Amino acid sequence: MDNKIEQILKIWHEKFSDEDKQYSEFESSDIEYFVGCMLYNHFAFSKALDTMKTMDLSYDFLSACGSEYDDIQAIIESINFDDEQEKLKFLQSYISEAKSKYTKSELYLLDRLEYHVNGMAQRYAQGVDAHRIDFQNPLYR
């Protein structure tokens, strides 16, 4: 894993190892998920869905982050690539490595992030832009 990312994860895993600093329903894998969201937001992918140009970090997580948040945001902002394909590969690799640390029951948020990022990767591979999502209830088709 990238050294900067390892540094970020170390900071937050150490902070949240103290149960008094955790928010309700905290899972260790939340840290990897929110770092993935921060990377996603920083990379500002052009092929992201209009409704998913950014991913909101939960209020509970942000309020529990404390002063470390600004330092970590600066590290995230120092991770730069020349093109979006490199950004995408970096984020996909990060998600894959993060997922390898947890059991299936701990992967809900990381799976959601991966699903969205992989969908975006398909748009890059096919050279298409996403204009809208067609949400349909399968029971009414």
- Give mean pLDDT, residues 18-31: 92
Q: Which long-range contacts (CB under 8 A, 24 or more apart) does 17-22 make?
A: 21/64, 21/66, 22/64
Q: Taking 50 as the threshold, does the pLDDT of residue 141 lie above it? A: no
Residue 44 pLDDT > 60, yes or no? yes
The predicted model scores a pTM of 0.88
- Residue 133 has a pLDDT of 57
* Per-residue CA distances from 67 to 8, 125, 127 (Å): 13, 39, 41
Cβ within 8 Å of residue 131, ≥6 positions away: 50
Burial label, 47 (beta-carbon count in 10 A; 0-12, 13-18, 19+): middle
Structure confidence by residue, pLDDT tens digits, 88-125: 999 999 999 999 999 999 999 999 999 999 988 998 99
**Mean pLDDT in the chain?**
90
